[in-house]
């Protein structure tokens, strides 16, 4: 039996006006719901610009508690529209402890929980280690009204271990809210190579785990970074089912969760895993003996 679910991936440009960003996202969520979306996914740090390009302690003032005013607004919205919302934003956990987090809100307005980004990068214009404490409460799967959603964030997407653990916990859909783009010297062929690699690694998670993957990226120029958009959804064998362009867009995608079972029967990766041989993976580096 088919089990169809309508996803909406909302990619947009953000400004320094927090209220404007939240209002913009709210309007797009309402638009997605009118178009039949059941699960609506926002981009990484959706309510702020990507402030990690510079080191400035004033940006900590943008963080929100969970629960708090922002989650209150989103839970009301989810309940009224009867949609699941995945909302990533800057979290203040306690004095001096901040996370790059997301919340999952079920279609009845229940705040199901949060996920805190595990892998924190530090690269030119991506100074996330200054702002974010790595998540310490594990990988998460949320059994929502419409699907079992496994949540990961941006830099997490490059780590197959994170995808595997989340999928093994029962995720039917892996979501990767993202803020990725190019710097001024990364143009043309190099930009295409970066975009291809970004899509390839996430499609590989779909294939290796026989599940769906949704990646939601930002758009627009912020400081030195040109966010390239191209949010997409991959099926369980790595086929891109739909892909956005590089501008603001609400991408609506229909997925059939029943495909997961049939895919795993044909390609039984989970059956053939040699779990008795994987102990070395927990080491930082394996010396060649």
**What are the extents of the domains in the chain?**
4-282
φ, ψ for residue 273, nearest 5 deg: -65, 135
Q: Pseudo-torsion of CA 110, 112, 113, 115, nearest 10°? A: -120
Count how many residues are written for the chain.
Answer: 289
User: Which of 6, 44, 91, 249 is labelled catalytic?
Assistant: 44
φ, ψ for residue 52, nearest 5 deg: -75, 0
- pLDDT tens per residue, range 36-80: 999 999 999 999 999 999 999 999 999 999 999 999 999 999 999
Given a cut of 90, whether residue 187 has pLDDT beyond it is no
Verify cis geometry, omega within 30 degrees of 0, for the bond prior to 88: no
Given a cut of 80, whether residue 211 has pLDDT beyond it is yes
Q: Which helix (H) or strand (E) holds 165?
A: helix 160-168
Active site residue 154: yes
DSSP state of 204: H
Asked whether 231 and 217 are in contact (CB, 8 A), the reply is yes
**Out of 4-8, 164-168, 173-177, 281-285, least confident range:** 281-285
Question: Do the bridges between strand 232-234 and strand 212-216 make them parallel or antiparallel, or are there none, so unpaired?
Answer: antiparallel
Active site residue 117: yes
pLDDT of residue 287: 87
Considering the domain delimited by 4-282, tell me its CATH architecture.
4-Layer Sandwich (3.60)
Asked whether 133 and 125 are in contact (CB, 8 A), the reply is no
Q: What is the mean pLDDT of residues 158-167?
A: 98
User: Which of 6, 154, 172, 211 is labelled catalytic?
Assistant: 154
pTM exceeds 0.85 for this model: yes
DSSP state of 279: G
Given a cut of 80, whether residue 289 has pLDDT beyond it is no
Active site residue 2: no
User: Which of 117, 172, 203, 222 is labelled catalytic?
Assistant: 117
Q: What is the mean pLDDT of residues 121-136?
A: 97
- Tokens (6 digits) for 147: 């699907």
3 state SS of 266: helix
Taking Cα atoms as reference points, which of 205, 213, 266 lies closest to residue 235? Answer: 213
Asked whether 33 and 108 are in contact (CB, 8 A), the reply is no
């Amino acid at each position: 039996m088919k089990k169809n679910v309508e996803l909406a991936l909302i990619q947009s440009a953000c400004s320094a006006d927090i209220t404007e960003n939240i209002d913009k996202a709210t309007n797009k969520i309402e638009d997605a719901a009118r178009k039949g979306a059941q699960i609506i996914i926002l981009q990484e740090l959706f309510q702020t610009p990507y402030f990690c390009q510079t080191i400035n302690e004033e940006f900590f003032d943008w963080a929100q508690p969970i629960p708090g005013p922002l989650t209150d607004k989103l839970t009301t919205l989810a309940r009224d529209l009867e949609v699941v919302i995945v909302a990533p934003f800057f979290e203040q956990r306690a004095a001096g402890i901040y996370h790059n987090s997301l919340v999952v809100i079920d279609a009845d307005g229940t705040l199901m929980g949060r996920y805190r980004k595990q892998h924190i990068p530090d690269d030119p214009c991506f100074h996330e280690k200054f702002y974010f404490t790595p998540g310490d409460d594990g990988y998460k799967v949320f059994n929502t009204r419409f699907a079992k959603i496994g949540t990961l964030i941006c830099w997490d997407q490059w780590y197959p271990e994170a995808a595997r653990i989340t999928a093994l916990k029962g995720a039917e859909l892996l979501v990767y809210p993202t803020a990725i783009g190019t710097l001024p010297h990364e143009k043309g062929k190099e930009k295409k190579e970066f975009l291809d690699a970004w899509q390839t690694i996430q499609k590989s998670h779909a294939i290796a785990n026989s599940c769906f993957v949704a990646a939601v990226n930002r758009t627009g120029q912020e400081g030195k970074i040109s966010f390239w958009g191209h949010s997409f959804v991959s099926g369980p064998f790595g086929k891109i089912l739909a892909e956005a362009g590089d501008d603001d867009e609400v991408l609506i995608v229909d997925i059939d969760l029943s495909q997961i079972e049939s895919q795993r029967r044909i390609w039984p990766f989970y059956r053939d895993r040699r779990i008795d041989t994987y102990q070395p993976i927990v080491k930082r580096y394996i010396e060649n003996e």
